Copies of this chain bind each other. A is one copy, B any other.
Amino acid sequence: MADRVIGVDVGGTNLRAAAVDAEGTIACRQAARTPADAGPDAVVDALLTLANRAGAEAGLPPDAPLGIAIPGPLDPATGVVAFTPNLKDWRDYPLGAALRQRTRRPFRLANDGNCAAVGEARFGVGRGVDDLIYLALGTGVGGGIITGGHLIEGTTGFGGEVGHVVIALDGPRCTCGSIGCLEAYVGGWAIARDASLVATTADGMALLRLAAGRPITPAIVATAARDGDPAAGAILDRAGRALGAALGAFANIFNPRLIVIGGGVGSLGDALLEPARTAMANHAFPENRTAARIERSRLGDDTALLGAAALAMEAPTIEDEATG
């Protein structure tokens, strides 16, 4: 078990690497734009450059392990990335094999939502908690689950897709092709969709004024709601109730101690989270509701990087497995 490793977070926009120690202290940060349109090889080159730079600056040995958070589902055993919504040409990309050719470092790969759950459990508000759900409420809805101390990865690494659970059989269409997913209510794109619809009506005056000719974002909806605009409040109320219904379902399935809310939509405030708490209370068994507290993430943008680092510290890496 390594006590100093390099964490890497491959985002659709930003690529970040840093040295991380067993207390979760981050040092020697490196960052660059992700060459998202240049294909996977360019991303691998860029991430190794950043990782090596972070490792060298931190004085880590050349075989210090890497933990890498990937913005899409992958099989952690084989290192094959199934797809990434925001990186070009990554379908069925053998990232594990590509890394093995280009670095001597052992490494561990995981989906960024799963990494974030581990980051919260190891270094965040979930420190010491064995039963934890992390929800990343951004443009999309992702996350990860730790139950009884174990990260849910699933039989082929596609576990933890908490944004794509049905909460309404006759609900709106989701980007994933399904109907009525949680994300189709509380994803940033869904809130923007609802706001755009309202903006076509007489109720949309406040939203249009705040947007000043640009697209209406979830942040604009939250500002309007804080200013007392009833239409904006109703949009966040609907999204929050949907979120709470899903949290109630998660509470009944997992009986978690803690639900951690991260992401930009997650920071919109009480206009979203209060209806969520109420709906969760209506949808969960009393015992499951009582056991679970809801908290905001306080790790900011570092959640997935820290979790990837924690996984590289704890678990057998792909390199370890390949060599015995």
Contact = CB atoms under 8 A, between A and B. Distances in A.
Interface in A144-192: 145, 147-148, 150-162, 164-171, 176-180
A265 B189 CA distance: 39
A5 to B, nearest CB: 22
A246 interface: yes
B164 A252 contact: yes
A213 B183 CA distance: 47
Nearest to A258: B155
A82 interface: yes
A255 interface: yes
Contacts of A287: 73, 82, 156, 158
Contacts of A164: 249, 252, 285
A155 B256 contact: yes
B253 A160 contact: yes
A246 B170 CA distance: 13
Contact of A130 (B155, B177, B254, B291): B155
Contacts of A176: 285
Contacts of A170: 168, 170
Interface string A247-262: 0110011111100000
Given A152-B253, A179-B283, A288 B166 contact: no
Given A131-B154, A148-B152, A179-B282, A252 B288 contact: no
Contacts of A73: 285, 287
A108 interface: no
A179 B169 CA distance: 13
Contacts of A291: 154-156, 158
